[in-house]
Structure 1
């Protein structure tokens, strides 16, 4: 396998040892895991590095401080990326955060670029107890990410884009959802 990546996000009551979604093919393996408490994330990262993953990406909800913790937990052995938001998304992500903290039902999508992924098969929708949902969807490339984002935008309040090399791949996604006002988080890396 050429790539073994894990994406980590926070979800109340989640088991950090359970894969929520697995995309595996000739291009490698991408798994999504959730932690029930952000304090569980560094230990999970340490364990994943010990088992041989070669890349970790974190949800934007962890923030810069937790990103730094993950980098330290990795021992510098693998790249650790985290979702950050560009200036064009700040108003939308601030609104999402305020609505989340107020307990509103919100829906978000994690769009995961993984070569060879099939958006119709590599998809999990997790309904939340209080309403709203988290959709995890694998796509084969940035063009497919933009297409999927555009189709989903009307029902979302947030998108996070994983598995991309940077802003060039994110730009089509941002353009696809800008009229709907959906903020898009983009992965930034640190070793």
Structure 2
């Protein structure tokens, strides 16, 4: 596994974490995206990534309290772990078939270039796009919903205000989630953010 500062895990039934992975290269940094079938597999991937130097982990596509806790226990305080959560009344209903994850805040990100579409098992689809700022996140969210996304997930680098603006743009068409940080990850997430800002 390449050493990367960020790991993004996507829960998807039938996924093979050894094969279902991609490295997003921003030139000045890399992010690793991995699809996993369950919490146990997510914990294994997370532990290996942290041992290789990963400092921040974000969980997408349906992680619940139990599966997220498996990752947090495997990491054992060595990295920040955030989970995509929804505002009241906006949770995804039923299986997640077509989701979009928008990574906000990489200054060098180009939404046309830093984009990855993965078709998974049983017709599931994930589109991951990196954008430089909140305005770009709004535009990309609108585009992805128009092309069939049933769920928009915003990374932990996005502000609540950016999530609000995306939600206002897509209205009630799809749920919108924002990664949040439990108290035991706040200090590590803040340190990661400070280091990121200092080097980008």
1-side partners of 2:54 and 2:153: how far apart? 21
Q: Which TM-score applies when normalising by structure 1?
A: 0.82
Deviations, residues 121-159 of structure 1 (Å, cap 9, x unaligned)? 111112345446321111112221111001221222111
1:29-68 matches, cutoff 5 A: 29-68=30-69
2-side partners of 1:5 and 1:167: how far apart? 20
Question: Is the contact made by 1:21 and 1:124 (CA closer than 8 Å) also made in structure 2?
Answer: no
SS in 1 for 2:68: helix
Q: Which residue does the alignment assign to 2:115? A: 123
1-side partners of 2:158 and 2:127: how far apart? 22
C-alpha change, 1:45 and 1:130, in structure 2 (3 Å) is closer
Q: Which residue does the alignment assign to 2:134? A: 142
How far does residue 114 in structure 1 lie from its aligned partner after superposition? Answer: 4.3
2-side partners of 1:13 and 1:20: how far apart? 17
SS in 2 for 1:16: coil
Of residues 95, 112, 116 in structure 1, which corresponds to 2:103?
Answer: 112
Gaps of 5+ in 1: none
Q: Which TM-score applies when normalising by structure 2?
A: 0.79
C-alpha change, 1:58 and 1:173, in structure 2 (3 Å) is same
1-side partners of 2:151 and 2:158: how far apart? 20
| More displaced stretch, 143-152 vs 7-16 | 7-16
Question: Is the contact made by 1:30 and 1:114 (CA closer than 8 Å) also made in structure 2?
Answer: no
Aligned-pair Cα RMSD in Å: 2.1
SS in 2 for 1:46: helix
Q: Which residue does the alignment assign to 1:153? A: 145
2-side partners of 1:15 and 1:56: how far apart? 18
Q: Which residue does the alignment assign to 2:171? A: 178
Q: Which residue does the alignment assign to 2:193? A: none
